[in-house]
């Protein structure tokens, strides 16, 4: 794996800018050198070198203040508008030149990012493989004999090759995840409506989302923080909601995996082994693996090509394809025109099926926080794909198609490499508005990868460690408990009845004394200037709406203040009024309430 000259991951690039060892002009020059050789067929249109240099120079004059993506180069799938640049959707005869950029693109430009150009795709975003384009089949970043994945093919490959820092794709049935899995990338499929689709050529408007390809989950987090937000111009837009329990930062969380008899790899033992190793990797991060019935999700996935959603694809380009059928790629034409056949009654029947399946799927979430799935069951060569373009394309959607239909969020992450050098990927799936916990989990996941698995795309670089800002608030509060509210203790139901979840077992900083109060049933934690010790605590997370009633039920002399944890962070935690220490016993040497109680037995 050959390293690109400069790592374009956001952490590395932003550090280089801060240190003064790089400028946006120099980054643009590297980008121009790398995109000039487009043997992978990743690009449809590249911005003129003069214009790119002018953009970089303007950013250098303005400076990075207030621009979170200052000097960061990115690519745009060519079904997303960039002002003054043709949008083709992979069909030359369909092309038009927009006067304004798509909302999501404009937000990135306003944040200081540099648009490099438009990338190749399966025409009209119809496909998961990357070969359905008159601009040429896009090649995998690791082995040009294999597919890149699609439909956001060029968007993924341009990032994997180190030509840009991140890219925008779209995802209707897996188009923002499958190419990530095939090219060793992170691919965020956000909740429906969080990234505006205003200025995006639709595939299925009711399912489409703009997706993000990045070298790291931290990078995806930074882009998501800038790109998301309500847009009145998009009828499907909605504001992000507080996500609740942050399983991505919890020490213990419940991870759903399909029953072994429901896993499908189409005979690809290498991908099966990769998934087994991924499950073990998840355990090392604290996951409790819970086997789930995957049948209703698989049944939902099959609806995508049997119901009204094919008709929705037809509706998206109806006027054009009816007038110019010969302009449409043959496979795409065949699939799309099939959408003209279903009746309105068929659409209602499919919607009823979907609602019934959604009810069955909803029950699974009572037992899990998120799912771990293979991103794709297998990968195919370009030759195999061209020989059986419909059947082999369908192989890739086994674990992805249901996500959009059920309004879920998902993130594809790297999971290692096969013996033949091709990457494997897995995907975490959660309910709507769980984008932030998924990003946190992906950050932990990627940070724990080792060896070749830790490399970024096909660049040969490894990630820099940094903590991006949280994009969406959780709507949760964290509280440290040290006594009767610990797990298994008598007052723990006061937390669990309010929906609280245990996120961490740790200790305080060595600044505390612990007392057994005179009633013998509760401890008192007291912070001291010197002579303190580390005391065992648990950190629980509960909805902020429940926090007030929880605090109201705490009797004197105890109350809630701030507790300093072993890592130096502070959370809400129990404190004791000085008057409560009358008649109390210093039990600090026991190190915690449990240890003290065990000595009494």
Q: What is the pLDDT of residues 169-214, one digit of tens each?
A: 999 999 999 999 999 999 999 999 999 999 999 999 999 999 999 9
Give the separation between CA 594 and CA 601, rounded to whole angstroms: 11
- If we measure between CA atoms, which residue out of 202, 190, 201 comes closest to residue 227? 190
Minimal CA–CA distance to 311: which of 352, 358, 345?
A: 345
401-440 pLDDT, tens digit each = 999 999 999 999 999 999 999 999 999 999 999 999 999 9
Q: Please state, in angstroms and rounded to a whole number, the distance separating the CA atoms of residues 375 and 185.
A: 11
Q: What is the mean pLDDT of the chain?
A: 95
User: What per-residue confidence (pLDDT) applies to 308?
Assistant: 84
Quick one: average pLDDT of 533-541?
A: 96
- Rounded Cα distance, 337 and 326, in Å: 12
Matching residue, tokens 């991103």: 375
**Residue 564 and residue 534: Cα distance in Å, rounded?**
10
Q: How would residue 601 be classed by pLDDT, with cut points 50, 70 and 90? A: low
> What are the residue numbers of the active site?
77, 151, 175
CB neighbour class for 467 (10 Å; exposed up to 12, middle 13-18, buried from 19)? exposed
pLDDT above 70 for 518: yes
Report whether 289 contacts 369 (CB < 8 A): no
Give Rg (Cα) of the chain.
Answer: 26
Q: Work out the pLDDT band at 82, boundaries 50, 70, 90.
A: very high
Share of the chain above pLDDT 90, in %: 89
Which tokens in the block code for residue 373?
A: 């799935």
For residue 63, the tally of other CB atoms under 10 A from its CB is 10
Task: Report whether pLDDT(469) > 80.
Answer: no
Q: Six-digit token pair at 580?
A: 């409560």
* pTM: predicted TM-score of the whole model, two decimal places: 0.91
Q: Which neighbouring-strand residues pair with 80? A: 200
Helix (H, G, I), strand (E, B) or coil at 170: strand
pLDDT band at 2 (very low <50, low <70, confident <90, very high): low
Summarize the confidence of residues 336-365 as an average pLDDT: 92
Structural tokens at position 509 = 């900083």
- Whole-angstrom distance, CA of residue 259 vs CA of residue 399: 14
Handedness of CA 574, 577, 583, 588 (dihedral sign): positive
CB of 484 closer than 8 Å to CB of 521: yes
What is the bridge-based pairing of β-strands 476-481 and 570-576?
A: parallel
Please tell me the predicted confidence (pLDDT) of residue 100.
Answer: 98
Q: For each of the domains in the chain, give its residue range(s) and CATH number, in order of start.
A: 10-454 (3.90.1300.10), 476-600 (3.10.490.10)
| Residue 354 DSSP class | H
Q: Which of 78-92, 175-189, 301-315, 458-472 has the lowest mean pLDDT?
A: 458-472
What are all long-range contacts of 391-396, with beta carbons under 8 Å and residues at least 24 apart?
Answer: 392/129, 393/127, 393/128, 393/129, 394/305, 395/266, 396/128, 396/129, 396/149, 396/174, 396/178
For position 520, what pLDDT does the model report? 83
**Joined tokens for residue 322:** 């009816």
| pLDDT of 406 | 98
Cα(342)–Cα(59) distance, integer angstroms: 52
* DSSP run (H or E) holding 386: helix 382-387
Q: Is a pLDDT exceeding 70 seen at residue 580?
A: yes
d(CA 169, CA 146): 20
SS3 category, 263: coil
What's the pLDDT score for residue 1?
62
> Tokens 């969406």 correspond to what residue?
472
Query: Residue 68 pLDDT more than 80?
Result: yes
Query: Residues 222-243: what's their mean pLDDT?
Result: 96
Q: Is 185 left (phi over 0), alpha (psi -120 to 50) or beta?
A: beta
Q: What region, left, alpha or beta, does residue 514 occupy, with left being phi > 0 and alpha being psi -120 to 50 degrees?
A: beta
Q: Are 528 and 512 in contact (CB under 8 A)?
A: yes
Query: Can the peptide bond before residue 124 be classed as cis, meaning omega within 30 degrees of 0?
Result: no
- For residues 179 and 193, the answer to whether their CB atoms sit within 8 Å is no
347 and 308 Cβ atoms separated by less than 8 Å: yes
pLDDT digits (tens, 9 = 90+) for 235-282: 999 999 988 899 999 988 999 999 999 999 999 999 999 999 999 999
Q: What number is the average pLDDT over the span 585-591?
A: 95
Checking if the pLDDT of 380 tops 70, the result is yes
Say what the alpha-carbon torsion angle 299, 300, 303, 308 is, to the nearest 10 degrees. 160
Evaluate if residue 463 carries a pLDDT over 90.
no
Looking at residue 1, what DSSP letter applies? -
450: its two tokens: 């080792």
Who has greater pLDDT, 463 or 246? 246
């Amino acid at each position: 794996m050959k390293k690109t000259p400069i790592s374009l991951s956001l952490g590395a690039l932003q550090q280089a800018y801060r240190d003064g060892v790089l400028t946006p002009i120099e980054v643009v020059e590297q980008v121009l050198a790398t995109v000039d050789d487009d043997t992978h067929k990743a690009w449809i249109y590249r911005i003129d070198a003069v214009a790119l240099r002018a953009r970089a120079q303007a950013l250098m004059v303005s400076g990075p203040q207030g621009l979170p993506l200052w000097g960061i180069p990115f690519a745009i799938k060519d079904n997303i508008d960039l002002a003054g640049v043709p949008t083709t959707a992979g069909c030359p005869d369909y092309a038009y030149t927009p006067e304004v950029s798509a909302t999501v693109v404009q937000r990135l430009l306003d944040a200081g990012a540099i648009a490099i150009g438009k990338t190749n795709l399966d025409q009209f975003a119809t496909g998961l493989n990357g070969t359905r384009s008159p601009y040429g089949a896009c090649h995998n970043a690791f082995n040009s004999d294999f597919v890149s994945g699609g439909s956001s093919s060029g968007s993924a490959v341009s990032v994997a090759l180190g030509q840009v820092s991140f890219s925008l794709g779209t995802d209707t049935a897996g188009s923002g995840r499958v190419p990530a899995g095939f090219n060793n990338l992170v691919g965020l499929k956000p909740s429906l409506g969080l990234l505006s689709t205003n200025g995006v050529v639709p595939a299925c408007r009711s399912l489409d989302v703009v997706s993000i390809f990045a070298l790291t989950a931290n990078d995806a987090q930074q882009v998501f923080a800038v790109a998301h937000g309500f847009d009145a111009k998009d009828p499907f837009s909605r504001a992000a909601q507080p996500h609740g329990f942050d399983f991505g930062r919890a020490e213990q969380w419940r991870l759903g995996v399909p029953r072994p008899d429901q896993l499908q790899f189409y005979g690809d033992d290498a991908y099966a082994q990769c998934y087994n190793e991924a499950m073990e990797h998840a355990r090392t991060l604290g996951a409790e693996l819970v086997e789930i019935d995957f049948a209703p999700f698989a049944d939902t996935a099959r609806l995508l090509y049997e119901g009204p959603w094919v008709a929705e694809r037809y509706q998206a380009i109806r006027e054009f394809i009816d007038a110019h059928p010969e302009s449409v790629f043959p496979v795409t034409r065949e699939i799309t025109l099939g959408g003209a056949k279903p009746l309105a009654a068929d659409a209602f029947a499919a919607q009823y099926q979907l609602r019934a399946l959604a009810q069955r799927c909803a029950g699974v979430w009572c037992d899990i926080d998120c799912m771990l799935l293979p991103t794709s069951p297998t990968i195919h060569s370009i030759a195999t794909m061209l020989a059986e373009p419909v059947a082999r394309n369908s192989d890739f959607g086994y674990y992805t198609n249901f996500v959009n239909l059920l309004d879920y969020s998902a993130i594809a992450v790297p999971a290692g490499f096969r013996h033949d050098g091709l990457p494997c990927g897995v995907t975490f799936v959660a309910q709507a508005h769980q984008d932030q916990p998924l990003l946190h989990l992906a950050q932990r996941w990627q940070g724990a990868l080792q060896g070749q698995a830790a490399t970024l795309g096909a660049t040969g670089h490894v990630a820099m460690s940094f903590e991006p800002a949280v994009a969406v608030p959780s709507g949760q509060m964290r509280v440290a408990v040290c006594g009767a509210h610990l797990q298994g203790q008598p007052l723990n139901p006061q937390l669990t009845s309010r929906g609280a979840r245990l996120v961490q077992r740790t200790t305080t900083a060595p600044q505390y004394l612990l007392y057994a109060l005179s009633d013998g049933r509760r401890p008192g934690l007291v912070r001291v200037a010197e002579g303190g010790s580390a005391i065992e605590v648990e950190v629980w997370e509960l909805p902020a709406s429940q926090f007030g009633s929880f605090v109201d039920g705490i009797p004197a002399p105890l109350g809630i203040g701030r507790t300093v944890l072993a890592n130096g962070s502070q959370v809400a935690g129990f404190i004791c009024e000085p008057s409560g220490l009358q008649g109390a016993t210093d039990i600090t040497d026991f190190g915690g309430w449990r240890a003290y109680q065990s000595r009494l037995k």
